[in-house]
Amino acid sequence: MTSMTVTAGPFAGQKPGTSGLRKKTAQFRAPHYLECFVQAIFEAIDAPGKVLVLGGDGRFFGREAAAVILRMAAANGVARVILGQGGLLSTPAASHLIRLNGADGGIILSASHNPGGETGDFGVKYNIANGGPAPEAVTAAIHAASETLTGYRISDAPAPDLDRLGETLLDGMVVQVVDPVLDYAELMERLFDFPAIARMIAGGFTLRFDAMCAVTGPYAVEILERRLGAAPGSVVNAVPLPDFGGMHPDPNPTWASDLYERMMSPEGPDFGAASDGDGDRNMVLGRGIYVTPSDSLAVLAAHAHLAPGYSGGIKGIARSMPTSTAADRVAEALGIEAHETPTGWKFFGTLLDAGRATICGEESFGTGSDHVREKDGLWAVLLWLNILAATGQGVDALLAAHWRRFGRVFYSRHDYEALPVAQAEAVMAELRGQLDSLPGRSAGGLRIVAADDFAYADPVDGSVTTGQGLRVLFEGGARFVLRLSGTGTEGATLRLYLEWPCNDPDQFETETRTMLAPVIAAAEALAGIARHTGRTEPDVIT
Ligand code: G6P
Ligand code: ZN
């Protein structure tokens, strides 16, 4: 067999965002579009001789894309591709396989929590040898290559059967098709006390895991039902479908409303959780109680030592800047490092590699640890279950005890979606323009003590990242943050993150919106969201 070079490209705009290149599926299916971006990856990483992991969340176009990438990898001299059977791999499982096999990197086919299907979104993300998302230097090199290439290489040979386990040769390149679940399930079994969780479940503890017709179904069925003994059917929407069954696979109260409502009912199970398209996000609920991602991070960090994988204690906690400061309180109490990074899991990589953080989390429903280099939805679920089993407490009692010990940081995120880009930028510009003059002034009855555009200097590699979100801090620790989403594919999404710390236990049961009212008013007064956009209510509140 031979390979050919197809003259095509370059395409403008092949610039990886917060998490890889994410576009409408139709854009990726346009002639040569996927191929040119993949060629840019291969050029940026110097593909000859490399070992790569390949898989994705099962969304529409994933199988075709995997077949094309295999043929291109062969033509570009890649030595071996380790492929999840059927082209399936959750993002954390892909990260684990890269590490387990000492691979040079991996390509993940997913648009994460964005809807899939012909009219939905698709994405391609490159991860590096530590198993984590490519850092800025690598994504910049991919982007640069995408701007100058004049074609791509692809093998004439057909791709092998994606479903048949084992090794085959494609134009001299080894294609190794592996079970997507097995290695990951074994890793989880090493980290957590499966017998204790199984005993809790056998003792009548009930749970519901909503896989949202996305990639975690097979993982959750194997781990929660087969290995831990949850009743068959505890995992719902368990079969990955190309269009996610029409669902928007984003585990938050809005998009996982079915689970949310069941958990709010007195007849609900003891524990509920959902994951997103590619399995890296999670939402956790108890009966009658929703755990914010920021609180979840703090609770997991405070109790991680109860799980065998973390019994020696944790070395540090990292959170993205817009994530609440609840985790900082835990780090302080434990006497360990706390890090505040820009939004995007890739910023945790250096801290994890350097052993300066063990547990990381983001308000965007992401939590994870140094077991892989991605956030990990099922990992978070299992750590929660391990903690519940070890303490014998329910989610509500555990959270209440956590707040009593550390105080409660009331927190919410308001999203304004699909805004005309100019309107969203006007809101940002209005606030940005005032930042320097804000300290000392008041807004919404609150006194401002600091305001800036967040910049981050990585303490490990020294790299500096600027323009990561506007933050306004008030006396007493309340704050709001305003930033534009880096993952949307339609117009602009404005995110307003609101936070109000409270140490008075008598106020812990107050409605979040009530506690946040002054800081919501302050944000409106300073940024004028309603004035610029005409929107008086956010589209999504998490
Ligand atoms: C992806 C990344 C996360 C990040 C999130 C933020 O899920 O993996 O690390 O927190 O996007 O998205 P945003 O839309 O707020 O830029
Ligand atoms: Zn995801």
Question: For 473-478, which contacts have Cβ atoms below 8 Å and span 24 or more sequence positions?
Answer: 473/448, 473/449, 474/446, 474/447, 474/448, 474/449, 474/519, 474/522, 475/446, 475/447, 475/448, 475/449, 476/501, 477/325, 477/501, 478/446, 478/518, 478/519
Residue 521 Cα to ligand 1 midpoint, Å, equals 26
Whole-model pTM?
A: 0.94
Please name the amino acid found at residue 245.
G
CA quadruple 36, 40, 46, 49: dihedral positive or negative?
Answer: negative
What token pair was written down for 495?
């995110």
**For ion ligand 2, residues whose CB falls within 5 Å:** 112, 276, 278, 280-281
388 and 251 share one domain = yes
Q: Residue 440: count other Cβ atoms within 10 Å of its Cβ.
A: 8
Determine the pLDDT at residue 9: 83
Compare 507 and 19 and report the one with higher pLDDT. 507
Euclidean distance between CA atoms 110 and 265, whole angstroms: 33
| Phi and psi torsions of 370, nearest 5° | -80, 10
Q: Output the domain CATH number for residue 440.
A: 3.30.310.50
pLDDT of residue 17: 82
Residue 487 confidence (pLDDT):
74
Q: Are residues 192 and 170 in the same domain?
A: no
**Is the beta carbon of 251 within 6 A of some atom in ligand 1?**
no
Closest residue CA from atom 4 of ligand 1: 344
Question: pLDDT tens across 99-128, in order?
Answer: 999 999 999 999 999 999 999 999 999 999
Give the mean pLDDT of 65-82. 98
Task: Decide: 487 in ligand 1 pocket, CB within 6 A.
Answer: yes
> Mean per-residue pLDDT for 343-365?
95
Write the pLDDT tens digit of every residue in 385-438.
Answer: 999 999 999 999 999 999 999 999 999 999 999 999 999 999 999 999 999 999
Specify the pLDDT at position 489: 67
> How far apart, in whole angstroms, are the C-alpha atoms of residue 16 and residue 22?
7
Tell whether ipTM is more than 0.85. Answer: yes
Measured over all CA atoms, what is the biggest interatomic distance in the chain, rounded to whole angstroms? 74
Helix (DSSP H) and strand (DSSP E) numbers for the chain:
17, 27
Question: Best mutation site among 125, 340, 345 for ligand 1, i.e. most ligand atoms within 8 A of its Cβ?
Answer: 345
DSSP state of 323: S
The last residue of one of the domains, among 362, 380, 406, is 406
Q: How confident is the model at residue 211 (pLDDT cuts 50, 70, 90)?
A: very high
Residues 191 and 164 in one domain: no
From atom 3 of ligand 1, which residue's Cα is the shortest distance away? Answer: 344
- Does the beta carbon of 18 lie inside 6 Å of ligand 1? yes
Confidence band for 1, pLDDT divided at 50, 70 and 90: low
Q: How far apart are CA 274 and CA 105, in angstroms?
A: 28
Local structure of 330: helix, strand or coil: helix
Residue 322 near ligand 1, beta carbon < 6 Å: no
How far apart CA 363 and CA 408 sit, in angstroms, is 15
Domain containing residue 459: 408-541
Provide the CATH number for the domain around residue 196.
3.40.120.10
Cβ(345) – ligand 1 distance below 6 Å: yes
Q: Which atom of ligand 1 is nearest to the CA of 363?
A: 10
Among 386, 406, 426, the domain-final residue is 406
Between the CA of 343 and the centroid of ligand 1 the distance, in Å, is 6
Percentage of the chain lying above the pLDDT 70 cut? 99
Please provide the average confidence, as pLDDT, over all residues in the chain: 96
Q: Are 248 and 344 in contact (CB under 8 A)?
A: no
Span 503-530, mean pLDDT? 94
278 CB under 6 A from ligand 1? no
pLDDT in tens, 26-68: 999 999 999 999 999 999 999 999 999 999 999 999 999 999 9
Distance from residue 293's CA to the centre of ligand 1 (Å): 13
57 pocket-lining for ligand 1 (C-beta < 6 Å): no
Pocket test for ligand 1, best of 351, 364, 465, 540 (most atoms within 8 A of CB): 364
Q: Are 284 and 299 in contact (CB under 8 A)?
A: no
pLDDT confidence tier of residue 4, bands split at 50, 70 and 90: confident
User: pLDDT confidence of 490, banded at 50, 70, 90?
Assistant: confident
- Do residues 358 and 493 both lie within one domain? no
* Rg of the Cα atoms in the chain: 23
Q: Is the CB of 19 under 6 A from ligand 1?
A: yes
- The pLDDT score that the predictor gives to residue 19 is 80
Residue 496's pLDDT is what?
97
Same domain, 448 and 382: no
Distance, in Å, from the CA atom of 322 to the CA atom of 482, rounded to the nearest integer, reads 9
| pLDDT bucket at 515, cuts 50 / 70 / 90 | very high
Whether residue 489 has its Cβ less than 6 Å from ligand 1: no
Amino acid at 426: A
The reported pLDDT for the residue numbered 475 is 96
- Point out the domain boundary residue: 406, 438, 458: 406
Shared domain for 9 and 139, answered yes or no, is: yes
Whole-angstrom Cα distance, residue 78 to residue 516?
53
Mean pLDDT on 470-484: 96
Q: Which of 17-21, 312-316, 366-370, 416-420 has the least mean pLDDT?
A: 17-21
Please check whether residues 222 and 313 belong to one and the same domain.
yes
pLDDT band at 486 (very low <50, low <70, confident <90, very high): confident
CA dihedral 386, 387, 393, 394 (to 10 degrees): -70
Q: Which atom of ligand 1 is nearest to the CA of 493?
A: 14
Give the ligand whose atoms come closest to the C-alpha of residue 22: 1
CA 77 to chain CA centroid, Å, is 31
Query: Is residue 476 located within the same domain as residue 396?
Result: no
Q: Which ligand is nearest to the CA of 360?
A: 1
3-state secondary structure 113-136: CCCCCCCCEEEEEEEECCCCECCH
Instruction: Say if residue 442 is in the same domain as residue 386.
Output: no
Candidate of 139, 375, 417, 487 to mutate for ligand 1, largest count of ligand atoms within 8 Å of Cβ: 487
Decide: 485 in ligand 1 pocket, CB within 6 A. Answer: yes
Active site residues: 112
Q: Is 198 in the same domain as 137?
A: no
Beta strands 105-109 and 51-56 are: parallel
Statement to judge: residues 159 and 208 lie in one domain? no
For ligand 1, atom 13, which residue shows the shortest CA distance? 485
User: How many domains is the chain built from?
Assistant: 3
Residue nearest to atom 2 of ligand 1 (CA): 344
Judge if 352 and 471 occupy the same domain: no
Tell me how far the alpha carbon of residue 187 lies from the centroid of ligand 1, in angstroms.
Answer: 25
In the predicted model, is pLDDT for residue 135 greater than 90?
A: no
Report pLDDT digits (tens) over 293-330.
999 999 999 999 999 999 999 999 999 999 999 999 99
